[in-house]
Amino acid sequence: MHSPLSSDLFEINSDLIRRFGYHHTDYCLYPETDYFVEAFDAHSYSAWLDNRKARHLRRPLSLYVHIPFCSSLCFYCHFNQTVFDKNDNIKTYLEYLSREIRLQGQLFKNDPKVEQLYFGGGTPTFLSNIQLGRIMHEIQQNFNLIKEGEFRIEIDSRQMTNVSMQALTEMGFNCAIIGVQDFDQRVQQSIHRIQSEDITLRAIRDAQQTGFKSIRIELTYGLPKQNLEKFEYTLKKIIAANPDQINLLNYLHLPEKFKPQRNIHSEDLPDTEIKLEMLLLAITRLTDAGYVHIGMNLFANRNDPLVIAQRQGRLHYGLQGYSIYPDCDRIALGTSGIGSIGPTLNQNYCDFQQYYDKLERNILPIMRGIELSADDLIRRSVMQALICHSVLSFDSVETFFPIEFKHYFATELTELLTYEQAGLITLDDEEITVTPKGQLLINSICKVFDKYLRANQQHKNHSMLT
Written as one string, the DSSP assignment of 357-375 is HHHHTT---EEEEEEPPHH
Q: What is the pLDDT of residue 284?
A: 92
Nearest partner of 171 among 222, 126, 136, 124, judged by Cα: 136
What's the average model confidence in pLDDT over 130-141?
A: 96
Residue 424 confidence (pLDDT): 95
Measured distance CA(421)–CA(19) in Å, rounded: 12
Q: Which of 395, 399, 397, 379 is nearest to 429 (CA)?
A: 395
Please check the confidence at residue 5 and state whether its pLDDT lies above 60: no
Q: Where are the alpha helices (DSSP H) in 247-366?
A: 272-288, 305-311, 352-360
Question: Binning pLDDT at 50, 70 and 90, where does residue 159 land?
Answer: confident
Confidence of residue 293 (pLDDT cuts 50, 70, 90): very high
Of 215 and 440, the one with more pLDDT: 215
On the 0-12 / 13-18 / 19+ scale of CB atoms within 10 A, 353 is: exposed
Beta pairing, strands 114-121 & 61-67: parallel
* pLDDT above 70 (res 444): yes
Chain Cα centroid distance, residue 285:
24
* 39 pLDDT above the threshold of 90: yes
Per-residue pLDDT at 82:
65
317: left (phi over 0), alpha (psi -120 to 50) or beta: beta
What pLDDT sits at residue 462?
A: 56
| pLDDT level of residue 3 (50, 70, 90 thresholds) | very low
Once rounded to an integer, what is the mean pLDDT over residues 124-134? Answer: 94
- What DSSP state is assigned to residue 448? G
Q: Would you call 415 exposed, middle or buried from its count of C-beta atoms within 10 A (0-12, 13-18, 19+)? A: middle
Flag whether pLDDT at 109 surpasses 50.
yes
pLDDT of residue 17: 82
Q: Is the pLDDT of residue 6 over 90?
A: no
**Each residue of 234-273: pLDDT tens digit?**
999 999 999 999 999 998 887 887 788 888 999 999 998 9
**Which stretch of 29-38, 50-59, 234-243 has the lowest confidence by average pLDDT?**
50-59
Task: Give the start-end residues of each E strand in 139-244.
Answer: 145-155, 175-180, 214-221
* For residue 192, pLDDT beyond 80: yes
pLDDT (0 to 100) of residue 342:
92
Judged against a pLDDT cut of 50, whether residue 51 lies above it is answered with: yes
Task: Report the percentage of the chain scoring pLDDT > 70.
Answer: 93
pLDDT at residue number 317: 95
- Higher-confidence position of 398 and 85: 398
Task: Give me the pLDDT at residue 2, please.
Answer: 32
Q: Alpha-carbon distance 109 to 129, whole Å?
A: 27
In the predicted structure, residue 12 carries a pLDDT above the cut 80: no
pLDDT of residue 237: 98
Q: What is the mean pLDDT of the chain?
A: 91
Mean pLDDT of 438-457: 93
Q: What is the mean pLDDT of residues 407-433?
A: 97
pLDDT band at 73 (very low <50, low <70, confident <90, very high): confident
Per-residue confidence band for 382, with pLDDT thresholds at 50, 70 and 90 = very high
C-beta of residue 90 within 8 angstroms of C-beta of residue 142: no
